[in-house]
Chain A
Amino acid sequence: MAGEALIHLDGLSKVFYTEEVETHALSNIALRIQTGEFVSIAGPSGCGKTTLLSILGLLDSPTAGKYLLDAEPVENLSASQRAKIRNQAIGFIFQAFNLIGDLTVYENVELPLTYRGMAGSERKERVQAALERVGMAHRMGHYPSQLSGGQQQRVAVARAIVGKPLILLADEPTGNLDSKNGNAVMDLLKELHNDGATICMVTHDPRYAHVADRSVHLFDGQIVSEDDARRAQALEESGFDVAH
Chain B
Amino acid sequence: MDQLLSDIRHALRHLRRAPLFALVAGTSLAIGVGVNAGLFSAVNALLLRPVPGVDHPERVVEVGRSNQGRGFDTFAYPDYLDLKSEVRAFRTAAAYTFDVFAYSDGGEGSRVTGMSVTPEYFSVMGLTPERGRFFTADEDAPGSRPTVAVVSHDFWMDRLGGGVDVVGKIIRINRIAFQIVGVTPADFRGQTTGVHPEVYVPLRMRPALRNRGEEDFTNRGASWHMMVARLAPGATVQEADTQVKAVYARLAQAYPRTNRNRSGAVVPLGLVPGPGRGPVKAFLSVLMGLAALILLVTCANVAGMFVARASHREKEIAVRLALGAGRARLVRQLLVEALVVFAVGGVVGTAVGVMLVRSLPVNRLPLPIHVSIDLSPQAPVLAFALALTLGTGLLFGLLPAMQATRLELTDSLRDNGSTQGGRAGLMRRFFVGGQVGLSLVLLASAGFFLRALDRAGQVDTGFDPRDGYVTGIDLDLEGYRGEESAALQQRVLERVRALPGVESAAMSADLPLDMSRMGTGVMPEGWTPPEGQRGLGTDFTYVSTDYFATLKIPILHGRAFVETDDVSSEPVIVVSRTFVDQVWPGEDGLGRQVQVEGDHEPWRTVVGVVADVKGRFITDRPEPMMYLPLEQNPHQRMDVVVRAKGGIATVAPALRSAILGVDPSLSLNPVLSLESSSSLGIFPQRLAAGLTTALGSLALLLSALGVYGVVAYALSRRVREMGVRMALGAGSTRLALLVLRNGLGLALPGMLLGLPAIVVLGFVLRAFLLGLSPLDPVALVVVPGTLLITVAAACAAPARRAVRLHPMEALRSE
Contact = CB atoms under 8 A, between A and B. Distances in A.
For the complex of A and B, the 5 pairs showing the least CB-CB separation, nearest first, are A87-B729, A101-B420, A144-B418, A96-B417, A101-B418
B628 to A, nearest CB: 79
A244 B612 CA distance: 101
Given A80-B732, A83-B729, A98 B420 contact: no
Nearest to A102: B421
B581 to A, nearest CB: 70
Interface string A65-105: 00000000000000110011111100010101111111000
B731 A80 contact: yes
Given A80-B731, A116-B729, 8 more contacts: A59-B727, A60-B808, A87-B730, A88-B729, A98-B419, A98-B723, A101-B418, A112-B729
A101 B730 contact: no
Contacts of B806: 60
Given A59-B807, A59-B811, A100-B721, A83 B731 contact: yes
B734 A115 contact: yes
Interface centre among B721, B732, B806, B811 (most CB of A within 10 A): B811
Contacts of B164: none
Contact of B418 (A99, A116, A159): A99
Contacts of B811: 54, 59, 94, 98
5 contacts: A87-B729, A87-B730, A99-B418, A112-B728, A152-B416
B128 to A, nearest CB: 73
A54 B419 CA distance: 20
Interface in B764-814: 806-808, 811
A69 B664 CA distance: 99
B724 A79 contact: no
B404 interface: no
Contact of B730 (A59, A83, A102, A159): A83
A101 B487 CA distance: 92
Contacts of A96: 415, 417
Contact of A98 (B724, B729, B807): B724
Contacts of B732: 79-80, 83
Q: In this complex, which of A99, A100, A149 has the most chain B Cβ atoms within 10 angstroms of its Cβ?
A: A100
B726 interface: yes
Contacts of B420: 101-102, 145
A176 B416 CA distance: 9
A111 interface: yes
Which among B417, B419, B807 has the highest number of chain A CB atoms within 10 Å?
A: B417
Interface in B367-423: 415-421
B172 interface: no
B89 to A, nearest CB: 72
B245 interface: no
B418 A145 contact: yes
B340 to A, nearest CB: 29
Contacts of A144: 416, 418
B728 A145 contact: no
B725 interface: yes
A145 B807 CA distance: 24
A98 B724 CA distance: 7
Contacts of A221: none
B419 A84 contact: no
Given A96-B417, A145-B418, A152-B418, A115 B808 contact: no
Contact of B417 (A60, A98, A111): A98
Contacts of B808: 54, 59-60
Contact of A176 (B417, B727, B730, B731): B417
Interface in B400-454: 415-421
A176 B421 CA distance: 21
A69 to B, nearest CB: 14
Nearest to A159: B728
Contacts of A83: 726, 729-732
A115 B727 CA distance: 11
Contacts of B729: 83-88, 112, 115-116, 163
Contacts of A159: 728
B720 interface: yes
Given A59-B807, A97-B418, A144-B418, A111 B725 contact: yes
Contacts of A85: 729
A223 B729 CA distance: 29
Contacts of A62: none
Contact of A57 (B720, B727, B730, B734): B727
Contacts of A88: 729
- Specify which of B416, B421, B729 lies most central, judged by the most chain A CB atoms within 10 Å of its CB: B729
B728 A97 contact: no
Interface in A138-185: 144-145, 149, 152, 159, 163, 176
Contacts of A145: 416, 418, 420
B420 to A, nearest CB: 4
Contacts of A149: 416-417
Nearest to A84: B729
B728 A92 contact: yes
A144 B419 CA distance: 9
A111 B417 CA distance: 18
A96 B728 CA distance: 15
A197 B726 CA distance: 22
A100 B726 contact: no
A147 to B, nearest CB: 9
Contacts of B418: 97-101, 144-145, 152
A90 B806 CA distance: 18
A156 to B, nearest CB: 9
B278 to A, nearest CB: 55
Given A98-B720, A102-B421, A111 B416 contact: no
Contacts of A80: 731-732
Contact of B419 (A57, A59, A101): A101
A79 B416 CA distance: 31
Interface in A196-212: none
Contacts of B730: 83, 87, 115
A83 B732 CA distance: 9
B416 A100 contact: no
B721 to A, nearest CB: 5
A145 B421 CA distance: 12
Nearest to A112: B728
Given A54-B808, A101-B421, A87 B416 contact: no
